[in-house]
Structure 1
Amino acid sequence: MFYSLRNRLIAIFVLLFVLAFCTMSILIFNQSRSIIRSYIESSALEKMDEYGSYISMVQTQVYDLASIVFNSDTAKNWDALISDPDAGSGEKNAAHYRMSQFLTQTTNSYTSVSSVTVYRREGMWVSSGNQVVFDQSLVDKPWYQDLIKRYEYWVPAQMDEAEMRNNNPHPVIGMLMPIGSFEPANARSIMKVNVTADYFLDPLERIHLGAGGSIYLLDQDGQPMLSQTEYNAHENMRETVDAVRAGSGKQGVVYVTSDQGDKEILVYKKLAKTNWMLVGFVSEKDLYAPLMKLRNTIFILATVLIVLSLLLATWLSHGITKPLSRLITAMRYVERGDFEIAESRIPAANFIRNEIDYASSTFRQMVVRLRRHIKDEFELKLLRQQAEYKTLLMQINPHFLFNTLELMSSLAMQKRTDDTVEVIESLGKMMRFSLRINEDLIRLDEELKYVRYYVSILHIRFGDKVNIDIDEEDVGQLVIIKFILQPLIENAVKYSFESGTEARVRIGVRRERGSVRLTVSDKGPGMPERLRRQLVEQSVRAELDYILNNNGGQVGLGNVLARCRLYYGSLFDVRIEAGEDGTGTTIELILPEQEEQRHV
């Protein structure tokens, strides 16, 4: 009983898959639970997003405060009075006091701002807390030179004299803004808004990358904004940081291999307003230590399973693998439509020994019958589709011919001999063209020539009441199915005259992204939305009986849509739109771009 195919397969699958996957599932579950819990809680990019929002909030407060000071009347009056050489010292001292009080009140409204100081180029500064200091060293300060020469508006963490005078001996980050002019070099006064560096540093230190990773806040030049001197220890990562800073990515993770072969992980996020960037460094060994252990365990287990699978596969090769491989190969050929090759891949069985032989023999018989059935069905469908297409094509000629013969009769009765001769010549050329019934495809320039013959007949029939404009691009060797423009033009002219005394029709021909777009637009009464949807739905279903038996006014349009759908299938599309004011109709046929001697 054990040697039957079913029992052997059951035993092998139980041994290989049930036991193996149960063991691996327990290991993966236990380890993944601790790994996912640990790294989801301290996900670097998520925390960087939160910290970036925090930075954005602080910067927004700084910019709001700076904008208030910049636009305030107090700052403008102070700047004007201090710049006035005729103002007395008493007036200036009073102005300094008012300015300091204003800065104190403004600073107290923003919790993140430590102080605001306004510096004068001639050597004095006013800060919150009634500080008015005369100091000629402003122009020598590095941050002032960076503002004037390099337009650097943010100052990295440093000690500030105004802060130290207010008993705040901690590094601050400053934002600079000129007052009275947007050009720093032309400004007489410079405003410096300070934020305590710890306000940025404390939240940053709560973001962890593994056990030994660190995150740094860098300015637009790639230098630390905060008092993080340990950033200099990552000299080997500077080139990678510069490349990331110059790239277009907003955030991401970069893996770098050091000269010693150790893999380092760089996590970064760019902050939008000031081109600052958060950068985190951590070694792959540190970050993925538990995962590496799990990977090694799975690798050892997988190696054992592979060896065992190879041994068992060798034992089963003659009984199952070989005939099953032939069966699968045959199925692939069936999927591609190569039924003859699929049939040859499965030899005819003289006798059936097991379930695989029975399945192979049954599949071979199915392939033989399916190949015959598809061949017969394809030939019948092809013949039926060709007959439907020819029937639709034959519907066009009588419809147009009767209208033209009526015109010739009217011209003859009016004794308009020259016009009659011209109509006969144009009609003869069109009939010679239309009698080429065995050709489904014609060159697009020939179709346009056919249209021009028809337009000449319309001009004789209606005179100046018809205005038909043909806008065409170079169509080269493009081919389309014939007789698709003339019925649309005929409909456009007909409905234009039903609502007015003249017909204005525009015909457009252009190529666009592998397709040919034929457009016929008129200024008629417009087509109702319900009728537009009905025509598009009929073109999708190619309802031949309805079109042939329809005695309404959409015979030409329905005929064209049905023939395009029968010939091009899903490669054809149509758009029927009304004008913005509800009048006029635009019909656009979208056909696949096809040249002579090449199938769609």
Structure 2
Amino acid sequence: MKAISGGTGTPMWNKFRNIQTILFSTYSLIIIVVFTILVLWFYTWTSDLLRKNATDSLENNGKSMQEQIESEIRKMNDVSLNVMYSNLVKNRFKQYLSDIDNGASEPVDPAIPQASEPLESAKELAEILTAAIGPSRPVEQLYLYDFKNKVYGNGFDNRERYYDPKKKFWYDEVVSSDATKIITPPVIDEEMSKYISSRDKQYSMSLFRLFYDTYNVPIGIVEVKQYYNRIMRSVLDYKRDNPDQESVLVYTDAGEILYPLEANAEDYEAYIQYAGERRGSEAPDRFTSAFTNPLTGHKELLSYHHSSFTGWNTVLIVSENKLLSPLFRFARTTVLVALFILLFAIALSYVAAKRITYPILKIHRAIRNIRLDDLGSGRVATQELNSGLNELDQLHGSFLQMSARLRQSMDELLLSQSQELQSKLVALQTQMNPHFLYNTLATISAMAEEKMNEEIVAMSENMSDILRYISSDQPLVPLETELLYTAKYLEVNGLRHRSKLMYEFEIAERLKRLQVPKLIVQPLVENALKFGTLEKPPWRIRIKADVADHRWRISVSDNGPGFSEDSLARLDQKIRELGRSNEMPVLQLGGMGLLNIYIRLKLTYGDSARFELANSPEGGAVITIGGKLSNKEE
């Protein structure tokens, strides 16, 4: 025969081999697998859609900005072409130049006002140029330069004046270039700034062309000028609406940055180089690509657009985190909602499994969890099972009958123990009352002999408060209250000893509401006063309460002679005997109050009670009591 083990230990895996756990695990696994597949599919599909929409939005914004910039340049180009290909402009400009030359060769008396042909030619030329610009005035300013250092303006500036080719940074490039048009970078335009109410200096950009006559001979230069803010209006509007999102870069094929103004070229060098490499290898006019910023290490998306008309490149740069922030918010929301639904579904599976196995589990748990405390407190179930299964109902009924008999016996035992414990505490408390009263009356008697009448009156009032306190039927009081009456006791003795007695309290704020046995501190102070006064005054008593390692402690120290070795040994032996026998000490008027405190601590706090007697290195005795803080007190 095999021996049958009498141990109660159960392998861990056996604890999960029950009907409820198996049903719950099966239901939960099915729910988790199916739900996870659905959530992952939905998240993947939606995230791809959001990512595509975000990328498309970035591309569309870049394309829109590039097209609007190109549109402004085309307006400038169209105006310059209107002037270039207008025979009327060519003829009037040649006539204007000829009239100027002829007028210059025939001196006129300035004192005699008279009509001049150059003035008439200038008016006719102004009307033709105004018509060439158009009624909607798509550009702000038009200039015609001849090669005799004269310039004629039409727009805000309609003056006729001389110019110095050497001071025009664009002159040599326009005259010598084979390009049909030349667009200059933005510069501060002092002239056009005069016509804007803003105090800020205005930037402008110009488009230049050589102006030919009907025989294709250059006779001058056409400059079409536009405010920089108007050309870059789409970029500026976009940055105003998205101040913390995308960065915008506009630069020429030569790498000259047009936007932002006064930009640090090193900050954008990596973008320009990357776009140039992509164009060099694949030659795309536009693309959107992931990009890692070498300066910051951040992942970004870069949307590039090139205009073959202007030769300019527009780049939108946005952090992936910012661009895909809707996706991230959706992901967080999806996860939270999914977890909530999943937990709800698992909870339903748990309820279903529990409902199926409830009759068996109810009996099993009731038997397994039965404790003597439950029997004594009456917490054992007394209702019928009503499971619908006769065998289980009969078994549950028998268990209830057994529990009732055990509960009756347990109630009687607990009642007896409770009465015994209460009797001990009352007896110990009763011992302390006459002991305190005797000592106080002895003090009053001594003060009467010394004819300290006013002090006796004050002491009697304090005595009245203290007697009212010690005669109350509350076994536990807040530490704050205990210390209050301890202070009254010290005041009573202070009336007698005056400046010879000094005392101080050092109490942690969190311990003031700690529940302690009544008259647990005052006897310690009385003991310190009794033996501390054996030395020469002044006599110092210190009461300190603090918390350490989830335990409270109260120490009372004095500057007296301290405990003798015999006293410490005798008290220690008596405390050990009380700990073994659990008997109450007999409180004599000559002493034994410390043992009373010890046994009350033991009865209240059990093994966590602390009671220590020692001598301080600085001199004097130190008595420390304490106990473990409850969860509520912590």
Q: Normalising by structure 2, report the TM-score.
A: 0.39
Larger radius of gyration: 2
Q: Bigger relative contact order, structure 1 or 2, given CA contacts below 8 A and separation 6+?
A: 2
Q: Normalising by structure 1, report the TM-score.
A: 0.41
